[in-house]
């Protein structure tokens, strides 16, 4: 009797690969993003945004700015003194039409927590983040760039 290749393992690998591709579709903010320093416009960090039960959050995967702090000394919550790499800085965003709102974002440089709104642009290759206190008019916007698969 001839032995057949183990097809279920190949099917499983293909489905996992397809799931990874779909998880970073251009019409979703999930994926890996490069952030930039407001003053220098130089790359600052790599952030991964994920979704669970319709709520989006973001974690710093890597700090790119050599002058950036490694721990959040200016944080005033339970993140004070903790390493910034691996830190969740974005919480509570929910999709609302073609944007994402209702979230909070921590700026590890100053320890401040701001309200956050996000909107995809350029076919999902860029993400505008509006961080503000009070109303969106009183804030600033950063543009993050979607990273390719892998770091």
Q: Residue 65's domain spans which residues?
A: 26-146
- Residue 43 CA to residue 64 CA, distance in Å, equals 6
What does the pLDDT read at residue 134?
Answer: 84
Q: Do 133 and 18 contact (CB within 8 A), yes or no?
A: no
What does the pLDDT read at residue 27?
Answer: 80
Q: Is residue 89 part of a domain?
A: yes
- Residue 21 CA to residue 40 CA, distance in Å, equals 32
| Residue 10 confidence (pLDDT) above 70 | no
Q: Is residue 33 part of a domain?
A: yes
For the stretch 75-111, pLDDT in tens is 999 999 999 999 999 999 999 999 999 999 999 999 9
Q: Is residue 51 part of a domain?
A: yes
What is the tally of structural domains in the chain?
Answer: 1
Average pLDDT value for residue range 5-33: 55
pTM: 0.80
Buried/exposed code over 41-62 (b: 16+ C-beta within 10 A; e: otherwise):
eeebbbbbbebeeeebbbebee
What does the pLDDT read at residue 148?
Answer: 80
CATH label of the domain that carries residue 51: 2.40.128.520
For the stretch 117-141, pLDDT in tens is 999 999 999 999 999 998 878 899 9
């Amino acid at each position: 009797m001839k032995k057949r290749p183990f097809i279920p393992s190949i099917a499983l690998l293909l489905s996992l690969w397809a799931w990874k591709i779909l998880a970073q579709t251009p019409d979703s903010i999930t994926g890996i993003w490069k952030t930039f320093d407001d003053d220098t416009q130089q790359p600052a960090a790599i952030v991964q945004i994920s979704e669970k039960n319709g709520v989006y959050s973001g974690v710093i995967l890597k700090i790119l700015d050599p002058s950036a702090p490694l721990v959040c000394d200016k944080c005033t919550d339970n993140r004070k003194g903790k390493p910034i790499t691996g830190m969740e800085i974005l919480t509570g965003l929910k999709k609302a039409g073609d944007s994402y709102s209702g979230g909070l974002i921590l700026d590890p440089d100053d320890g401040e927590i701001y309200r956050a709104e996000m909107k995809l642009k350029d076919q999902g290759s860029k993400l505008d983040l509006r961080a503000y206190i009070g109303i969106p008019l009183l804030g600033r916007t950063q543009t993050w760039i979607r990273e390719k698969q892998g770091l």
